[in-house]
Amino acid sequence: MCFRYFLQVNEIVLNHQLIHQVFLKEVKQPNVDEMWFNLSDNLVRFSLEEFCLITGLRCFGEEKRSKYDEIYCRIKHEILGHLPNVLHSDVYDIFLHKPQLSDRDVVKFGIFLLLTNLFFITAYKRSVEESLMVLVDCEDMNSYAWSKELFKFTLSSLTSG
């Protein structure tokens, strides 16, 4: 399972001051697919390769979620069917307060929670894309190139703010 490592972590702690200090050392360079930092007179690169090493997620294969747009989503229709629009906050609430989920669905919602509230961090009241729900619920979840999509999202978030 591609997210096994994250599901086994007891607590994820981020040191925002350390991250801020690293970003103060960013070196401007022309490659939009990576970031470089000058740390103690050493140039350090942050690219897809480093992201894959850090996260342990797949960095090869297909990462086009659009092919999942038209596939029936069991999670959405059977578990979330009462919600006309699924928000990131709904995923959190259902994970914590829906005791009748099967063990398999608990794991899927755990992964769904990781994706919506840790990796694809957006406004808490923002809608979740149905293709993400389909992907978490289907067999392709473990072969999907999560690192490619997450790295693009992360890099875009880091360089736009």
The SS3 call for residue 39 is strand
Do 108 and 71 fall within a single domain? yes
Question: Does pTM surpass 0.85?
Answer: no
pLDDT, tens only, 37-57: 999 999 999 999 998 888 888
Joined together, the tokens standing for residue 45 give 């690169």
Do 42 and 103 fall within a single domain? no
Do 134 and 76 fall within a single domain? yes
pLDDT, tens only, 113-123: 888 877 877 65
The residue range of the domain holding 86 is 64-143
In sequence order, the 6+-apart residues with CB closer than 8 A to the CB of 59 are: 48, 49, 51, 52, 145, 147, 148, 151
* Lowest mean per-residue pLDDT among 78-82, 120-124, 157-161: 120-124
Do 26 and 49 fall within a single domain? yes
Strand boundaries in the chain, DSSP class E: 26-27, 35-39, 42-46
- Residue that is written with structure tokens 């840790």 in the block: 118
- Rounded Cα–Cα distance for residues 2 and 16 (Å): 26
Residue 128's pLDDT is what?
82
At residue 98, does pLDDT exceed 80?
no
Domain count along the chain: 2
Do 27 and 90 fall within a single domain? no
